[in-house]
Amino acid sequence: MQHVLSVLDIQDQIRDILKQAQIFKEGPGGDEPLKGKTLAMVFEKSSTRTRISFEVAMYQLGGFPLYLSTSDLQLGRGEIIEDTARAMTRYVDGVMIRAREHQDVVKFSNHSRVPVINGLTNLEHPCQALADMLTILERKGTFDLKMVYVGDGNNVVNSLLLATALLGMDFTVACPSGYEPDPEILKEALKIAENTGSNLKVTHQVREAVMDAEVLYTDVWVSMGDEEEATQRLKDLQAYQINSDLLKLADPGAMVLHCLPAIRDQEITEEVLNGPQSAVWDQAENRLHVQKALLYLLLGD
């Protein structure tokens, strides 16, 4: 595991990462396994959970987090990614990048001397998928479940397809036509599922999809970078809201997930988001614990 750009990069270690995250969450702390280590955190996109969780994780492990926006770097003045990577990675022990284009992070990693973590790109969000899997394991104690994602088949969905396939969880994406997940990632996930027994589906029939689901998941309909399409997106996705009526079709003990930020009364209603079946705030907290596990396994001695 040299870099974590995709869930595919941790396919042999995903259960170890979740186990280590549980240890960090349950443990009293006090050890500083990353003392003397520095993590550069490069943000092309603004962030709440990614920045705070990585910064706190690095601090709690004894290391130093270095926040860098693109305006802080010569990237903002036209320096090429390759040169930034060559120079930056002589100073630090690891790099986390939250970027627009996935290929920019791949390009950076190709010229990096240290591990690179994808903090989010337009293609994948592996750290989020790990936090989601940890939350499900905590609440349900198993991955022998049916999860249904409702809404836009975005970067989070792409990572969830791979994670659920690796862990043997059944996963259905219910989305409008034209909002399906990345076809190449779906193809790769289906290939993995052949060996793990995971049942993966993409459908446009939301009410049929959520029948008896034990986990319901959604995300914003208008992500950063999609603002020009907002009017059309809100129209196309209006039937894909997680509300109390939709929740009633799922398993009575179903849990609800949302990777945040949430827009009330668009993709999810207030009563569901903060209702008794919501695990959203545990899910948000678990970003910290899985990122501590990733940093420990990548940067630790």
Q: What is the pLDDT of residues 45-100, one digit of tens each?
A: 889 999 999 999 999 999 999 999 988 888 767 889 999 999 999 999 999 999 99
Mean pLDDT of 12-19: 98
Do residue 100 and residue 144 come from a single domain? Answer: no
Decide if 45 is inside a domain: yes
Please report, for the domain that includes residue 103, its CATH number.
3.40.50.1370
What pLDDT score was predicted for residue 170? 98
pLDDT digits (tens, 9 = 90+) for 140-157: 999 999 999 999 999 999
Do residue 119 and residue 42 come from a single domain? Answer: yes
Q: What average pLDDT does the chain have?
A: 96
Q: What is the largest CA-CA distance in the chain?
A: 55
Query: Is 127 a catalytic site residue?
Result: no
Select which of 98, 233, 258, 289 is catalytic.
Answer: 98
Share of the chain above pLDDT 70, in %: 98
- 28 by DSSP, 3-state: which? coil
Select which of 49, 233, 287, 289 is catalytic.
Answer: 287
What pLDDT score was predicted for residue 146? 98
Question: Taking a C-beta distance cutoff of 8 angstroms, is the pair 147, 169 a contact?
Answer: yes
Decide if 61 is inside a domain: yes
Query: Is 128 a catalytic site residue?
Result: yes
Do residue 102 and residue 135 come from a single domain? Answer: no
Residues ≥6 apart with Cβ < 8 Å to 219:
149, 151, 152, 154, 156, 157, 258, 259, 267
Of 165, 130, 141, the closest CA to residue 259 belongs to: 130
What pLDDT score was predicted for residue 22? 97
Does pLDDT of 265 surpass 90? yes
Select which of 219, 233, 266, 289 is catalytic.
Answer: 219
Please give the residue range of the domain that contains residue 130: 126-283
pLDDT digits (tens, 9 = 90+) for 97-113: 999 999 999 999 999 99
Beta strands in the chain (DSSP E): 38-43, 64-69, 94-98, 116-120, 146-150, 170-174, 200-203, 215-218, 255-258
Question: Taking a C-beta distance cutoff of 8 angstroms, is the pair 105, 116 a contact?
Answer: yes
Do residue 50 and residue 169 come from a single domain? Answer: no
Total tally of structural domains belonging to the chain: 2
Decide if 2 is inside a domain: no
Select which of 3, 49, 102, 125 is catalytic.
Answer: 125
Query: For residue 148, which phi and psi values (nearest 5 degrees)?
Result: -125, 125
Do residue 117 and residue 139 come from a single domain? Answer: no
DSSP codes of every residue in 61-125? TT-EEEEEEGGGSGGGGT--HHHHHHHHTTT-SEEEEE-S-HHHHHHHHHT-SS-EEEEE-SS--
Cα separation, 125 vs 85, whole angstroms: 21
Select which of 20, 128, 283, 291 is catalytic.
Answer: 128
Cα separation, 2 vs 74, whole angstroms: 26
Do residue 224 and residue 148 come from a single domain? Answer: yes
Cα separation, 217 vs 253, whole angstroms: 14
- The DSSP output letter for 290 is H
Q: And the tokens for 163?
A: 């994670």
Do residue 34 and residue 11 come from a single domain? Answer: yes
Query: Is 125 a catalytic site residue?
Result: yes
Decide if 1 is inside a domain: no
Cα separation, 15 vs 168, whole angstroms: 12
Query: For residue 51, which phi and psi values (nearest 5 degrees)?
Result: -65, -50
Do residue 136 and residue 70 come from a single domain? Answer: no
Select which of 49, 132, 182, 259 is catalytic.
Answer: 259
Does pLDDT of 225 surpass 90? no
What pLDDT score was predicted for residue 1? 63
What pLDDT score was predicted for residue 292? 97
Cα separation, 202 vs 170, whole angstroms: 12
Query: Is 219 a catalytic site residue?
Result: yes
pTM value > 0.85: yes
Query: Is 282 a catalytic site residue?
Result: no
